[in-house]
Amino acid sequence: MSQHRHPGAPGSAGAVPALPDLPEATVARLPEYLRALHNLADAGHETVSSEGLAAAAGVNSAKLRKDLSHLGSYGTRGVGYDVALLIEQIESVLGLTQRRAVALVGVGNLGHALAGYDGFASRGFRIAALFDADPARVGEEINGLVVQHVDELPRVAAEESIAIGVIATPAAAAQPVADQLVAVGVTSILNFAPCVLSVPEGVDVRKVDLAIELQILSFHEHRKASLTALPATGGSALTALPGGLAANDSQEAIGT
Amino acid sequence: MSQHRHPGAPGSAGAVPALPDLPEATVARLPEYLRALHNLADAGHETVSSEGLAAAAGVNSAKLRKDLSHLGSYGTRGVGYDVALLIEQIESVLGLTQRRAVALVGVGNLGHALAGYDGFASRGFRIAALFDADPARVGEEINGLVVQHVDELPRVAAEESIAIGVIATPAAAAQPVADQLVAVGVTSILNFAPCVLSVPEGVDVRKVDLAIELQILSFHEHRKASLTALPATGGSALTALPGGLAANDSQEAIGT
DNA sequence: CGCGATTTGTGCACCTCTTCACAAGCGCCT
DNA sequence: AGGCGCTTGTGAAGAGGTGCACAAATCGCG
């Protein structure tokens, strides 16, 4: 994904809540905890144990405790974590206290859906501008926003203080678009195009490739099929799939 | 544990002999290699070095070589890898020799886009059926497929030999849908709903949460901003941040 | 006021993944 | 034939992540 090296010594803790360099794996899980916490808060819970939160987030409880300990979170032994406080802490660490402006480039099939995805707005982001290179698409209004030509990017980026760029163009157009985003100062890019982006140091790129996810699933499907075909010494026939779920297979692990 | 095996005829991929248990990290990268290889093949390359392929896939060359060695791949020292052969090998390992049928449940905003996403078809998958629980959406035709009611799932799953289920419903509906998919024998699920799915052992779930990706980017953006705002501690000459970039001086007002 | 029940925070061992560095192998050129 | 340059495949070291198990801390209660 993104290559990170954290130079220097972050030891100096001023009056500012020092931003500890969290393990990347922890950072990737914090949003999941946050979502679970919001659910718990909506359900009226004021505190939650690591066990309960871990279950809601689908992780191991020890892992969760270690993750939270990394950001110096305050739980209470014998009680658990204060839900509201923990939400505040995680949102602060993730930088969600300010609503970041997102520019979406490429309003095709997928981009159209992303533009209308309300999950962004509800979780701290504001889609501030839509762009496309196709003049036929410029001017179209989606969700209250008018699609602009990608050449307008420099002006709009400055006006709207774009913090994150989302690329939903065809693969061939992705690299030029990324270059343009970088040129106007965007240092975080979410790329849906199936290609590798080359960006200067200091720019973070995360990639989401829907077909890759399916291919990974395909591998496991393939493997499972070849396992049932193999002479598994267990003996019990795994024929009936819907009815009996043979919990005998302890080797199945869903890794992510 | 025996992972070095010589298949008889690499040219014909009939019944796959033995599936070596690849590291999960390797499996996740194989699709990326595959995409890069297809690009290279289209560009007319017949062979490629690990260095070249690694660059095209955006990874370290040593990592790539180790990944390929895991699946017993045949490169030629001094020359590189045969592009066509490698494509065949990877597709065989990923189980892409057969085109798998995918059922998509939830034809809302995102699901609509997924139904029309041609990246699935071009990479070995066939969207075989669309479902929704909303009667108002049933009957709609998308990309040549008619949306059916989710209650039709058992019948259609059997008819179409559904191998993979994609959930693009709201979070509240995701778990029941997953249960239904599992009940009809689906053992691989790609979940776009922002929630944790609980499935029996032996069922693989992969999750894609678009907002989480943005939140991870937000964290890095937040960190970068707080780093530039901090006065550089003396002596650290290696903090060579990109010089050519316009420094985005958005000062984070970190509350006390 | 002390005790037991409960839950956090963490040291430690294990495991997976990454990266370096280099020997072995291959083709080409002289 | 022999040497030379290039590339693969891999051993080994290191880095990072995971999960167990337990001490420390806190609350409620008798």
| Residue B204 DSSP code | E
pLDDT band per the 50, 70, 90 thresholds, residue A108: very high
**Other Cβ atoms within 10 Å of A245 Cβ, number:** 17
Q: State, as a whole number of angstroms, the distance between the CA of A206 and the C1' of C30.
A: 51
Cβ-defined contact of A94 to B248 (cutoff 8 Å): no
**pLDDT for A226:** 85
Domain A100-210 superfamily per CATH: NAD(P)-binding Rossmann-like Domain (3.40.50.720)
**pLDDT for B17:** 53
Taking only the tens place, the pLDDT of each residue in A15-71 is 345 667 899 999 999 999 999 999 999 999 999 999 999 999 999 999 999 999 999
Instruction: Specify the residue for token string 């592009």.
Output: B83
Domain parsing of chain B, residue ranges:
24-94, 100-210
A5 nearest nt, CA–C1': D15
A51 nearest nt, CA–C1': C7
**pLDDT for A18:** 63
B238 contact residues in A (CB cutoff 8 A): 7
**Chain B closest-CA separation from residue A79 CA (Å):** 25
Question: Which of A22, A38, A94 is most worth mutating to test chain B (most B CB atoms within 10 A of its CB)?
Answer: A94
**pLDDT for A228:** 76
Q: For strand D, which residues in window 29-48 of chain B come within 7 Å by CB?
A: 48
Taking only the tens place, the pLDDT of each residue in B140-175 is 999 999 999 999 999 999 999 999 999 999 999 999
Reply yes or no on whether the pLDDT at B254 is more than 80.
no
Residue B42 Cβ under 7 A from any strand C atom: no
**pLDDT for B237:** 39
**Residue of A132, A128, A196, A131 lying closest to A163 (CA atoms):** A128
Of the partner residues B21, B163, B218, the one whose CB lies closest to the CB of residue A94: B218
Q: State, as a whole number of angstroms, the distance between the CA of B105 and the C1' of D15.
A: 41
Dihedral of the CA atoms B19, B24, B29, B35 (nearest 10)?
A: 40
A8 belongs to an annotated ligand binding site: no
Residue B245 Cβ under 7 A from any strand C atom: no
Sign of CA dihedral B236, B241, B247, B248: negative
Q: State, as a whole number of angstroms, the distance between the CA of B9 and the C1' of D10.
A: 25
Taking only the tens place, the pLDDT of each residue in A167-202 is 999 999 999 999 999 999 999 999 999 999 999 999
Mean pLDDT along residues B189-206: 97
Residue A253 Cβ under 7 A from any strand D atom: no
Dihedral of the CA atoms B8, B14, B20, B21 (nearest 10)?
A: 180
A146 belongs to an annotated ligand binding site: no
Residue B80 Cβ under 7 A from any strand D atom: yes
Mean pLDDT along residues A226-249: 46
| Separation CA B19–CA B1 (nearest Å) | 11
User: Range with the lowest mean pLDDT among A80-84, A252-256, B107-111?
Assistant: A252-256
**Cα angle A167, A23, B66; round to 5:** 75
A194 contact residues in B (CB cutoff 8 A): 35, 119
Mean pLDDT along residues B69-79: 93
Tell which wins on pLDDT, B76 or B244. Answer: B76
Q: What is the CATH number of domain B24-94?
A: 1.10.10.10
Tell which wins on pLDDT, B177 or B13. Answer: B177
**Residue of A166, A18, A11, A110 lying closest to B119 (CA atoms):** A110
Sign of CA dihedral B192, A129, A189, A19: negative
Q: How far is CA B249 from CA A102, A189, B205, B239, B252, in A?
A: 17, 18, 41, 17, 9
B220 contact residues in A (CB cutoff 8 A): 2, 4, 188, 204
E strands along chain B, which residues? 47-48, 75-76, 80-82, 100-105, 125-132, 141-142, 145-149, 162-167, 188-191, 204-207
Tokens of residue B83, six digits:
């592009």
Cβ-contact B37, B88 below 8 angstroms: no
Tell which wins on pLDDT, B231 or B27. Answer: B27
Q: What is the CATH number of domain A24-93?
A: 1.10.10.10
Cβ-defined contact of B214 to A57 (cutoff 8 Å): no
Of the partner residues A31, A100, A110, the one whose CB lies closest to the CB of residue B113: A110
